[in-house]
Structure 1
């Protein structure tokens, strides 16, 4: 791990010694340090909070840098740290707060995973960027919430504007995500000192301690350092499940009139005990059996998943003239760990009895990712036409090691309502062995974009040429291809508060690699390349402290299925494509002086096309609900006291099963309620809050976009927190 860390530290020293960059800030936590005039993709850029402070008014437009959300030709929502503060429990998956965006639904309640769906397509931590840098997280690891200043959520066509990312950046280990990307911006030091401690209590005994210390120093406070640490340990509301997390991160930045530099780096150690809650259905019923009590634990006692490592993100922008600047990004991540669990989702019949043959699984894995980008950004005019251009060159390298050792196959007994019974053949647990290199991948790319402005019209033209070089280390198979990913869009500003837009994007990358799992008869093979497209038209209105966005979209993505070969084996295959058409609407902002709301809904018509022999053409996409929505509220009774509420709705979805070829996953509505209190004690501010997630203690199934597997909800969870500044 030391090589990447030393490289980053050395590069940071060189960049930070250059003439320094400018950040403008008015002091306090609500205003972010940000470069003046230079809209930067690489440094922590302006995040001007909209009324109500649940959203930012600017978000990332790829290598073009930060732009007003009114000027971006696709659906974009930038969540603030306040949104996390109000609606998130740090012991639960980050998807819990992401679903404030109407296009996102959480696919899991367990912190053992990070899965969520965007417009019906399953995604996870692999799809998250850190300060504009891709491929630093995974299905298990996501950015910890206590380091996040904002989350830019793109649920629209932007594949060709960000530069080149790894083709393993997907839950299917192949596709660049069709529905969009999620960029996390980390906290940096504000102009005022921060000395903050926070304590949390959640579930049945999960206790968290957090420190947040920030200083600006040097001439004109050009240097800033912010340190965030977490120690989280104890049992979740699900009996027997634990979230144990220790991490420490530092954000160092330097600013002056000519350049801006930011270095974020840290170490994490994450261990989740229990909490594996994936299921499949083998019955014939038209609807899944009633969900069991969400408190039921289906793990064997040794179920665990551990991952530790480091993350580095280095960003720099050097201003050459008033119109031109150079920028550079570098990122590195190394992690390793292991897990003990059952190797597949638990399969049950119409009566809820488990009928699956299963094994205990010892898996050891490690990952190394590096990413580098250098580019030029500038502005020029051709007559009355204004151009904002950006050119970037990218390089990425990824390696993945894995070994899976299974016990003898045995039948799991018990059922949904009585609990699981693991037979004697489950033990002794298999030994952990040394991980073996599975694959390595090198990508290079060039991205060019131009925002052409004439009067009230902005036209975005962008394309990435991506060269992939993938080596399957299991069988020596090498895959090389060159792809061009075009993106274009147009925005028309009807007025300063109203804009209409349209956009298109395409992505193309190597096919999924079938995991080295004994369940797959074609394990280790790489499937055919994958292509995805997306089109969107929309309307954005900023009125009276409220931002309203309406988007209509049409996108597709390759469909992957598991074909049953025997009761215990499958063949992973591509089967046509899934097509997603729908409409999305959201309204967020300050409704009155004391009421802030976030409301949104999604209509999704998802069906399969061009399947093998047309056998499944027109059929539903597994796990994708037609209707879903979120409604959240903060009401300040008085300045010191606030009430919080949220409802999350997921409509019925279907999976391939049953006598008619489909089984319904029932709809659900989950409610979260809470309150917070602000006070000053001995001239020091404190904040007390209480939140109850799944307040009605419902037990419900959670669909997973594009998959026949599904999850089970977490039981009612109480979270208490106290925050004090010194």
Structure 2
């Protein structure tokens, strides 16, 4: 049975659930979305804490509570770093099915998208590149990849931490997509999946976007059993058709279920499902060989840069299991498990396409340029397994109240890969007219059986204590991480044992105001040098790296608006390609990238009919401690000094709303492919517009939405944090959706 047939069968089974007498009759008001109405209790595990009603900040876009690693749910005013807990309403307002999660993450001012192509999930947080590898699912790390991210239709909440919190989450893997691993993330994104609420949900959504992408979504939730102790939520997606980019197509099929159980002494949550995701075309990643002051004029964003067979496909399964068991009134044991398996195939033009100062695609004479513009057939696979067990509790010592946790975890991953490259010298044309392929471009290389590349095993012990003394909150946490990394391709093994500390201090003069300081240190294995002929140390694993973060800030809630102002400093290792002659390079660490910045976020409802979300970021990024001081004080590639986002929603009536969003990024700088020059990526600003209308079709509550991304059809280059590669925007994209609560 094909995956699509499996999905159809499961969708029909899920819809059949609607007829089962598990839920009690409800009024029309009760059948409204519980998250949006703010009237439904939710039971979420973070990782396994059972909660009552979660209080949203006015406007419903973010929540006042968030996940504090192994300590569970805490008020954001007690957390000593920047935190934004995005709700399901935020996702529904800003999500674009052609760019999963990217358009929602933009509402956090510390995050900027690094690519417009759904072939990748790259984004930067405070200037440092990240992707799906850095996302957690129900408190479990390392289940996603550079291509795969959690589908938005299964998400109830996203806890975004852009600050020093490394030691409170346990151990995670080092792999980081095409970066070959290694850079410790500046923050975390924890995805909490939808659970069945007390009000039954039977929802069907139809989406039309781009040049003919049609999507169908089901969402069915019921509680059943004695005292409605059991809950089942089923979510499915069928998405197929042409994107707004000419010749670009998406094909997504997935089905997920969330089964939970709760009683007075325990709570359990099981999330599982399978996915099959394919993108045809849509390569938008480039490198520059010129030595000009500014990149060549940006081409029309609608221009395709693919041969007709260009595709990227990933399919697999994913599962998380969270369990919490009360021992007595003070102590609770918890257990978390995660598993993911994914397999993939890709036909594209190697990695980033290279062009010169005239915009012409180059086949150049150097080894680097000749081998970059060529076709590639890639076959890959990955397996990830995570286990965590621990105990948490409360204690009082004198005037100090303690919330503490002790956990042990084990994270294992293995990666297989094989590339098969096509002929050199077959790329002509330019960024303005598209690629012209030479007469010997075909036949394309075939897929080869993949081979194991690396295996990583991390074992850790985490101890955390959140103390309250009057108006003061003190966080002390540390993880001892033992890392065993085997570079199979190079037959090289690296082992490290390190202690990663996190501490923070918060003063709360009132319940709605806090002043805080936080510090953390992250540690990760060194980067795995790519298997490319330009590197004399290809496949080598570099030395382990350490990154430090410090942040001080203030949070305040007033007039229905939550604001956070933070000052931060982050350092991370800088990677360079050092020329060794003959067109060859050595990949190596060279000093630090240092990021100092000021961030302001705002979320809330300053007026009965207006909701605001967004903020501003100032980021001063420079290199330090480079070899011989040669690059000290130099810019960090791809990082804009100023950026911001503001989203406004106006609701003249309960049935109608209008949303506008402005996303702005200042100019950034890169070096060319040879590591020379200071080349400007121009600033850009985009506008997104949305309107919704709630009505009834017969007796069925219906919500109609029309969204336009990049409404002014702006074409622009996009920097990637810490990299001299860059992306090209997507053209204007329209999306219409109709949501039916049956």
Fold similarity call, TM over 0.5: yes
Q: Does 1:724 align with 2:729?
A: no
Retained in 1: the 8 A contact 2:184–2:546? no
| TM-superposition CA deviations, 1:517-539 (whole Å, max 9, x none) | 34433221100111100000000
Report the equivalent of 1:58. 65
Paired position in structure 2 for 1:531: 546
Could you tell me which residue of structure 1 aligns to residue 384 of structure 2?
A: 369
**Which residue is equivalent to 2:535?**
520
Corresponding residue to 1:29 among 14, 20, 34: 34
User: Is the CA contact 2:100–2:152 (under 8 Å) kept in the aligned structure 1?
Assistant: no
Report the CA distance shift for 1:416/1:70 in structure 2 as closer, same or farther (over 3 A): same
- Residue 485 of structure 1 is matched in structure 2 by 500
How far off is 1:42 after superposition?
A: 2.7
Deviates more, 1:698-707 or 1:637-646: 637-646
Unaligned runs of 5+ in 2: 1-29, 364-369
Q: Provide closer, same or farther for how the CA distance between residues 440 and 106 of structure 1 changes in structure 2, counting only shifts above 3 A.
A: same
State whether structure 2 residue 490 is matched by structure 1 residue 475.
yes
Residue 235 of structure 1 is matched in structure 2 by 242
Q: What is the Cα deviation at residue 680 of structure 1?
A: 2.3
| Counterpart secondary structure, 1:316 | strand
Aligned: 1:460 with 2:466: no
Contact 1:170-1:177 within 8 A present in 2 as well = no
1:565 to partner: Cα distance: 5.6
Partner SS state of residue 234, structure 1: strand
2:19 is matched with none
Q: 1:607-686 residue pairs with structure 2 within 5 A?
A: 607-657=622-672, 661-686=677-702
Shift of the 552–171 alpha-carbon distance from structure 1 to 2, 3 Å rule, reads: farther
Q: Does the C-alpha gap of structure 1 residues 386 and 676 become closer, same or farther in structure 2, counting only changes over 3 Å?
A: same
Match runs of 1:384-399 below 5 Å? 384-399=399-414
2:315 matches 1:308:
yes
Q: 1:381 to 1:673 in 2, by over 3 A?
A: same
1:101-147 C-alpha deviation (Å, 9 max, x unpaired): 00000011110000000000000000000000001100000000000
Q: Point out the more displaced range, 284-293 or 514-523.
A: 514-523
Q: Which residues of 2 match residues 231-630 of structure 1 at below 5 A?
A: 231-356=238-363, 357=370, 358-564=373-579, 570-630=585-645
The residue aligned with 1:701 is 717
2:708 alignment counterpart: 692
- Which is worse superposed, 356-365 or 250-259? 356-365
The corresponding residue for 2:730 is 714
Give the match for residue 18 of structure 1: none
| SS of alignment partner, residue 133 of structure 2 | helix
Other structure's SS at 1:126 match: helix
Confirm or deny: 8 A CA contact 2:184 2:523 kept in the other structure. no
Residue 137 of structure 1: aligned partner: 144
* CA shift for structure 1 position 560: 1.4
Would the aligned equivalents of 2:57 and 2:603 in 1 still touch at CA under 8 Å? no
Using the alignment, how far apart are the partners of 1:131 and 1:259 within structure 2? 17
Q: List per-residue Cα deviations over 1:187-229 (Å, max 9, x = no partner).
A: 0101111110000011001110000011100011100000000
Does the 8 Å contact 1:178/1:557 carry over to 2?
no
- SS of equivalent residue, structure 1 residue 192: coil
User: What's the CA shift for 1:508?
Assistant: 1.2
Change in 2 beyond 3 A, CA 1:329/1:379: same
CA RMSD of aligned residues (A): 1.7
**Matched position secondary structure for 1:84:** helix
- Retained in 1: the 8 A contact 2:361–2:431? yes
CA contact (8 A) 1:391 1:446 kept: yes
User: Contact 2:113/2:123 (CA < 8 Å) preserved in 1?
Assistant: yes
Distance in 1 (CA, whole Å) between partners of 2:151 and 2:460 is 30
CA-CA distance at 1:45 after TM superposition:
4.8
Q: Which residue of 1 aligns with 2:92?
A: 85
How far, CA to CA, are the matches of 1:430 and 1:568 in structure 2? 25
Cα distance in 2 for partners of 1:567, 1:177 equals: 33
Tell me how far apart the structure 2 counterparts of residues 42 and 171 of structure 1 sit (CA, whole Å): 33
**1:596 deviation in Å?**
0.3
Contact 1:456 1:492 in 2 (8 A): yes
Q: Taking structure 1 as reference, are residues 565 and 202 closer, same or farther at Cα in structure 2, changes over 3 Å only?
A: farther
Number of aligned residue pairs: give it.
Answer: 699
Contact 1:404 1:517 in 2 (8 A): no
CA contact (8 A) 1:197 1:724 kept: yes
